[in-house]
Each structure stands twice: as structure tokens, then as C-alpha cells.
A = this chain, B = another copy of it.
Amino acid sequence: MAQDQTPGEKPGHPPAQATLHEVRTAENSAPYLLPKLQSMKESNPHLKLLDVGAGSGTISVSFAKLIPDGHVTGIDVNSTILPRARAVAEMAGVENIEFQQGSVYKLPFADETFDITCCHQVLIHIGNPWDALREMLRVTKRGGIVAAREGDYESECVWPELPELGKFHTLMAGRMSSGGGTPTAGRQLVSWALKAGVERSQITLSFSTSSYHTPSERASLSKGLCDQLRGGSLREIALKFGLGNDNDLEEMAKAWEEWAKREDASLAMLHGEILVQK
């Protein structure tokens, strides 16, 4: 979900905070869904896929490449990210895709429109994820799939354990909660799907990890977080909600710079994944 963009960025250029999101693809962010997508594609090459909370669209675009005879719709609640998503698709030469504005709570589509409806790091940020899942199920065809992959922020493993990085973790969890989100989303996906009205037997649960540890991954993560701490929406929210002052945020940024230089440094997190058979 494109929560991190700064209003006023040039259309077609990534918001500073989106840089970390634009490495995401279907292959690295939705491998749990790909075998099912491939088997569905074999019986129907014209699959219709909805990517909810598409953000700058890199995952949506890679789904579109995987179903060249199908069609992908990317939707995001924030209309300011849409020009960037369209630019990402155009740069990739992908034409079987469209992006539009809309809320996961009220998707602008008829019942049973899509074969696959999926989201990535969306439910973790919203207050009523079961309502979102119910709405995703509504627009999905019978025999189709609703899929979600969400982080479990409380599983985050950071090394070395610099004190300012612990404070950063608390800041990020506070930011997530203050926006109505659930830092422990990953472990709660099944309970949310049950609350959305599906049977346990319809749900396939799995877990996977994401991590940053190579020199380029460390540099990229550190730069992305420092940009957010020094000038992005994270700084604005931290100051607004009293989650940290200017000095606190600068100390956290310096800690991330130090972390990136440490050759034993890593950050890893667990993600929950559900496939719901409608």
C-alpha cells in the first residue's frame, strides 16, 4: 500500500520513500501464490487479477508479465501514486494492466469480477482487515483465489542490536498502530479470514522471510530509512504523534548508517501468507 509517498513529488518519479518498495516483484514478494497462479493459467490463460494496494506497481507489473494473455488491475487508495505506477508499467513495456484509485473497503468492481484478488503489506496497515478480506472475496469469482502476504513486525530480527535501532522499531510499531494497523498482522491472517466468513478448510497458510544483509541491501535499506527519518512522512508522523523529536530521529538515522557499515549486520522478518479458495 502506498502509504509512504510525499505529496508533491513529480508524477512518474518515485517518491523518496517508495524506493524500498520498488524492488518488490511477484517473484520475491508473492512466491506462495505463483504455483496456484500457474495452474490456474494452464486452464485459463485469460486470468483477471486484482492487486489491492498496488502502490508504485512493481508487483502488479510482474504479475502482468506472468499472464500475458490475462489482465491485471492495480488499485490504490492514494491517487498520487498512480502516475508512478503507470510509468513503471510503461517502462516495463507492459500493456495488459491498468491502475485506478479505490479503497479496499469498497472496491469499485461488480461481484465475482476477478480470478485472483491479492494484496501485499496492506492488511497490516488498516483497522478492519477482515472487512477488507470480505470485500476482496466479494469481487472474486467462485473457484477463484484471494491471497494476502503480510509482515509480522514483532518478529523482526536486527543485528547488531544498536540501542537507537530498538527505538526505531518502537517508532515504526507506534506509527503503524497510530494509523490503525496491526504490527503482528502475519500471525493473525487466518483469524482475520475466519472473521471474514470463510471456513478454515478454504485457507492455506504459509510463512516466509524477507531480509537485508548483503552490502548493497544494507546500503539501500539504510538510505531509504535515513531519507524517511530526515525528511519523509515518517518524520512528519513521528513529530506529529510525539513518537520522537528531531534529535531522536537524527540519532536513529546515524544508527542505520552505522548498521549499514557493519559486515555482520542483517535485518530479517517473518511474513504470514494465506491463499483462500473461494
Contacts and interface: CB of A to CB of B under 8 A. Distances in A.
Contacts of A184: 157, 159, 161
A205 interface: yes
Of the listed residues A156, A184, A186, A268, the one surrounded by the most CB atoms of chain B closer than 10 A to its CB is: A268
Interface in A217-266: 263-264, 266
A186 B160 contact: no
A32 to B, nearest CB: 12
Interface in A154-206: 154-161, 184, 186-188, 190-191, 194, 200, 205-206
A109 interface: no
Contact of A263 (B158, B188, B194, B209): B194
A160 B160 CA distance: 30
Contact of A266 (B190, B211, B266): B190
A1 interface: no
A272 interface: yes
B272 A187 contact: no
Given A263-B200, A268-B187, A207 B209 contact: yes
B266 A205 contact: yes
Contacts of A190: 159, 213, 263-264, 266
A152 interface: yes
Contacts of A266: 187, 190, 205, 272
A26 interface: no
A91 to B, nearest CB: 31
Contact of A152 (B157, B194, B272): B157
A268 B184 CA distance: 12
Interface of A: 152, 154-161, 184, 186-188, 190-191, 194, 200, 205-209, 211, 213, 263-264, 266, 268-270, 272
Given A159-B184, A159-B187, 15 more contacts: A154-B157, A157-B187, A157-B207, A159-B191, A160-B191, A190-B263, A190-B266, A194-B263, A194-B264, A205-B213, A207-B209, A207-B211, A209-B270, A269-B270, A270-B270
15 contacts: A155-B268, A157-B184, A157-B270, A158-B187, A159-B188, A159-B190, A159-B191, A160-B191, A161-B184, A190-B263, A200-B263, A206-B211, A207-B211, A207-B268, A266-B272
